């Protein structure tokens, strides 16, 4: 199972939540599968999905799901101690760990080699870290939402990308409609 | 005048309630004052681009954010400023310790100081330089300007502004 199949499976859960989606192909896939005003698509700035999501979760009470990748978390590894030490129980970090840099041609990441992000998250002090297989993501994500506890999910899946067009929506439009969804 | 208190008073008066910081000797008093204020949520970050991500999220969540950092961080955050803060048009006051200016004891700090204003100018980031204590009087207006125009705005505060480095 690849990332786009996971996103298709969990789209009915994501639809009702505030979602911050990682740069590149993940955002293109989510946009093509189920575009919602409550999706914040990152058009640049690799690595900051988890930081944006945490800031959003700390600033308001609605649940926030940051969809991140293993490569992006490795880019901004300092995010995990910040998350662990600033608990927001309305925050879920969903790391789709396919062991590769999908948007740049599936080059292997260190998470696809010896590094285990779930152990890094635990060592950073994250209290609820769940590792799951791609097929179980929906169930695990719903359980995390129901628990109302800050959760880091590391979802293991295969490397690969669906082919979708780039997002041409203006960034200020993405931001404006997202902020309206936050306030709704 | 207690400059740390004055700065934080202005931040609170402008409804800034989410502040991320990286540690800094010159700004230590401001950071301490921020920690003491219940109106402000203080979240230290490990790197300044991470901090800008936190601020972007907080802004979209309805809070007015600010970041406190050193000028060396301009070198770290150019991409984040361009592709997140500016691209999505978000306000971000950046209270910056301007190392490597007059009265600086550490030579290496000068190496980024000489690039700081050029980089900010290249990014079209409105930039204010506090060199004398009285310059802080403009902070309130700078904060209002930042949230009026939804841009990142740099406030460079040098060693002379902070009264030098003592016996260092």
pLDDT in tens, B83-110: 999 999 999 999 999 999 998 999 999 9
Among A40, A49, A59, beta carbon nearest to B58: A59
Cβ–Cβ < 8 Å for A40, A173: no
Q: Which pLDDT belongs to residue A166?
A: 95
Cβ–Cβ < 8 Å for B100, B114: yes
Q: Which pLDDT belongs to residue B165?
A: 64
pLDDT, greater one: A105 or B74: B74
DSSP A161: -
Tell me the β-bridge partners of B20: B43, B67
How many Å lie between the alpha carbon of B29 and the closest alpha carbon of chain A? 22
What residues in B contact A49, CB-CB < 8 Å? 53
Q: How confident is the model over B63-88, as a mean pLDDT?
A: 97
Give the number of other Cβ atoms within 10 Å of residue A113's Cβ. 8
Name residues of chain A where pLDDT drops below 70: none
What residues in A contact B49, CB-CB < 8 Å? 45, 47-48, 76
CA distance readout (Å), B79 to A118, B36, B59: 28, 32, 19
C-alpha to C-alpha distance for A54 and A2, rounded to whole angstroms: 26
CB contact under 8 A, B88 and A182: no
Among A42, A51, A171, beta carbon nearest to B50: A51
CB contact under 8 A, B56 and A86: no
Q: Which pLDDT belongs to residue B168?
A: 43
- Residue B164 banded pLDDT, cuts 50, 70, 90: confident
How many Å lie between the alpha carbon of A1 and the closest alpha carbon of chain B? 30
CB contact under 8 A, A82 and B44: yes
Q: Which two tokens stand for residue B94?
A: 């950046």
- Residue B114 banded pLDDT, cuts 50, 70, 90: very high
φ, ψ at A156 (rounded to 5°): -90, 125
Interface of A with B in 87-116 (CB under 8 A): none
How many Å lie between the alpha carbon of B3 and the closest alpha carbon of chain A? 28
Q: How confident is the model over B121-141, as a mean pLDDT?
A: 97
How many Å lie between the alpha carbon of A38 and the closest alpha carbon of chain B? 11
Mean pLDDT over the full length of chain B: 95
What residues in B contact A182, CB-CB < 8 Å? 60-62
Helices (H), chain B: 3-13, 28-36, 48-60, 74-80, 107-122, 139-149, 159-162
Q: How confident is the model over B156-163, as a mean pLDDT?
A: 94
CB contact under 8 A, A45 and B65: no
Q: Which pLDDT belongs to residue B166?
A: 54
Instruction: Count interface pairs A-B at CB distance under 8 A.
Output: 118
Comparing alpha-carbon positions, the chain A residue that sits nearest to B45 is: A82
Helices (H), chain A: 3-14, 25-34, 49-59, 70-75, 79-85, 117-124, 137-147, 171-183
Give the number of other Cβ atoms within 10 Å of residue A93's Cβ. 28
How many Å lie between the alpha carbon of B6 and the closest alpha carbon of chain A? 25
Q: Is the pLDDT of residue B167 over 70?
A: no
Cβ–Cβ < 8 Å for B56, A52: yes
Q: Which pLDDT belongs to residue B163?
A: 87
CA distance readout (Å), B10 to B37, B94, B102, B157, B162: 12, 14, 26, 15, 17
């Amino acid at each position: 199972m690849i990332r786009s199949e996971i996103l298709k499976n969990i789209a009915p859960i994501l639809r009702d939540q505030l979602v911050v989606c990682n740069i590149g192909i993940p955002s293109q896939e989510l946009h093509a599968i189920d575009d919602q005003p409550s999706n914040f698509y990152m058009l640049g700035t690799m690595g900051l999905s988890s930081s944006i999501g945490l800031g959003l979760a700390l600033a308001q009470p609605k649940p926030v799901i940051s969809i991140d990748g293993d490569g992006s978390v490795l880019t901004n590894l300092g995010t995990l101690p910040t998350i662990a030490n600033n608990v927001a129980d309305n925050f879920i970090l969903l790391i789709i760990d396919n062991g590769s840099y999908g948007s740049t041609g599936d080059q292997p990441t260190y998470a696809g080699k010896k590094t285990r992000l779930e152990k890094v998250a635990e060592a950073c002090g994250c209290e609820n870290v769940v590792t799951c297989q791609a097929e179980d993501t929906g169930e695990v994500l719903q359980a995390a939402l129901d628990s109302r506890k800050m959760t880091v999910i590391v979802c293991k899946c295969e490397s690969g990308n669906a082919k979708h067009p780039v997002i041409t929506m203006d960034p200020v439009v993405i931001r404006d409609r997202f902020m309206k969804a936050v306030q709704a | 005048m207690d400059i740390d208190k004055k700065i934080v008073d202005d931040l609170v008066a402008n409804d800034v309630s989410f502040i991320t910081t990286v540690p800094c000797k010159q700004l230590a008093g401001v950071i301490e004052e921020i920690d003491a204020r219940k109106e402000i949520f203080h979240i230290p970050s490990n790197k300044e681009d991470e901090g800008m991500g936190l601020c972007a999220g907080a802004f979209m969540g309805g809070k007015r954010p600010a970041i406190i950092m050193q000028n060396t961080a301009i070198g770290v955050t150019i991409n984040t400023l361009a592709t997140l803060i500016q691209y999505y048009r978000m306000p971000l006051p950046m209270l910056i310790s301007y190392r490597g200016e007059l009265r600086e004891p550490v030579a290496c700090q000068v190496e980024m100081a000489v690039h700081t204003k050029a980089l900010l100018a290249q990014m079209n980031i409105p930039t204010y330089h506090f060199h004398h204590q009285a310059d802080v009087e403009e902070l309130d207006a700078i904060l209002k300007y930042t949230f009026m125009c939804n841009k990142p705005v740099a406030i460079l505060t040098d060693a002379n502004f902070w009264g030098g480095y003592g016996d260092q």
